[in-house]
Amino acid sequence: MSRYYVTTSIPYVNGKPHIGHALELVQVDVLARHRRQRGDEVRAQTGTDDNALKNVHSAEAEGIGPAEYVARVAERFAGLGKALELEFDDFVRTSSDPRHAPGVVKLWEACAEDFYRRSYTGLYCVGCEVFYRPDELVDGRCPEHGTVPEEVTEDNWFFRLSRYQDRLERLVEDDVVRVEPLSRKREVLSFLRSGLEDFSVSRSTDRARGWGVPVPGDPGQVVYVWFDALANYLTGPGYGTDDAGFRHWWADCPERVHVIGKGIIRFHAVYWLAMLLSAGIALPTTIFVHEYLTAGGRKISKSEGNADDPAEVVDGHGSDAVRWWLLSEVARAGDTDFTAERLVARANEDLANNLGNLVNRTVSMIAKFGPAEGDDPGATALREARADAADTIDRALAGFDFRRAVEAVTRIGDEANRYVQATKPWVLAKQGSPELPRVLGELLATCRDVAEHLTPFLPSAAARIAAQCDGAPIRPVFPRLIEAEDVRT
């Protein structure tokens, strides 16, 4: 048995969740469930980034205090756990979790030799919570949000990021910290080789409206949101509050995995690693960078006004369909356009027509023609698909290839449905053939395998399949979805 610690990034709570947030949550949930299924000791963590300036601005726009505002919005993010059938071990809210502020203070003090104070004027994007150099802008606008950064002059604490440039390059180049996929590793190396500049790690208390973790020994400053937020990966396991828990889940844990979106790669694969080097803390072992979901070719975001609430999408289509689309349709490289029509089509094709049809046919025929006894050595292609599935899923998820992992399950369904058409159990039943019990036995074993392999991806559906294999009342495991326009016609 191994030990595995996997995290999502933590989103700002300056607005309700959108379907893009669901992608990362489901990916991490699958990784965690898969490793638990394989017998490993697993910790999966998520949470919310409460202490950002943008959250303060959103609270002011509503005329309420930031504490009230972030508590309300964070609750919507926490609610995704039930909607999406997530099984996380921890949820860290950076503004209110009693473990977090002590850990941030400890991390600050551990990095003290790399801090210095200076005045700075720069172009600041509140959306990214970062200063940009003019040459990093696109036509004078933030490359991530398309907004014009504001010019800000501040006197803050800075971190000597430039000191770690050579070490960071070697660590990423040699895969001491594995950045996946390869295109993102190359992006990080390009950023490192372009030269690193020291970055601000505090904000004035006045500008932050007093919101955030105070800088130790300097009450006029609060800890900059990224230095604060990144620390959640340590504070959740106990850094600063629980030494044994921190050693178990970070310092001595053989796999420490971050799953993040491509827009925050520099903070995780550069800033975060440098902070940990400065503090003398073990580095993450792997950073997987996923692409964006888009709508009409545009990034899904609150500011774009194209952000479907995942809880509402689940209400309309069910958690199985949403989880399956995120796993089977979203590309490992390149953005993926989300539409309800694509979600329905994928659910109907893979779940209702393939896996659901297989299970319904099998249990119905067993109820009508049974018993299901023995197996059929002649089911060569079907047996091969079943035998290959576990290893294919293991290798695919080790490489964060969720599409290839779920394809191993649908391949079993494809082969099993072909097997049904080839053997025609209803004909065997009419003929009184002694082959019938073995054919039904082969199909029943196949459905049990489907339930087992499907468990990390669609946990409730897998349990329903297993129950029907054990004699539960027969009903469609995956009812066919109908879009509103289909109902009108």
List, as one string, the DSSP characters of 368-381. Answer: HH----S--TT-HH
Buried/exposed code over 95-134 (b: 16+ C-beta within 10 A; e: otherwise): bebebbbebbbbbbebbeebbeeeeeebbbbbbbbbbbee
Mapped onto helix, strand or coil, the DSSP state of residue 297 is coil
Residues 442, 444: Cα–Cα separation, whole Å: 6
288 CB-side CA count, 13 A: 22
- Tell me, what's the pLDDT at 140? 78
What's the chain's Rg over C-alpha atoms? 25
> How many angstroms separate the most distant Cα atoms in the chain?
89
pLDDT above 90 covers a percentage of the chain that reads 80
* Rounded mean pLDDT for each run of 10 residues along the chain, 489 residues in total: 96 88 97 98 97 86 91 93 97 97 98 93 70 76 73 87 97 98 97 94 90 94 92 98 98 98 96 98 98 86 69 95 97 91 97 98 97 94 98 98 98 98 97 97 98 98 98 96 53
Positions marked active-site: 18, 21, 125, 128, 142, 145, 299, 302
Backbone angles phi, psi at 82, to 5 degrees: -75, -45
Q: Do the bridges between strand 41-48 and strand 90-93 make them parallel or antiparallel, or are there none, so unpaired? A: parallel
- Tell me, what's the pLDDT at 303? 58
Q: With 0.85 as the threshold, say if the pTM is over it.
A: yes
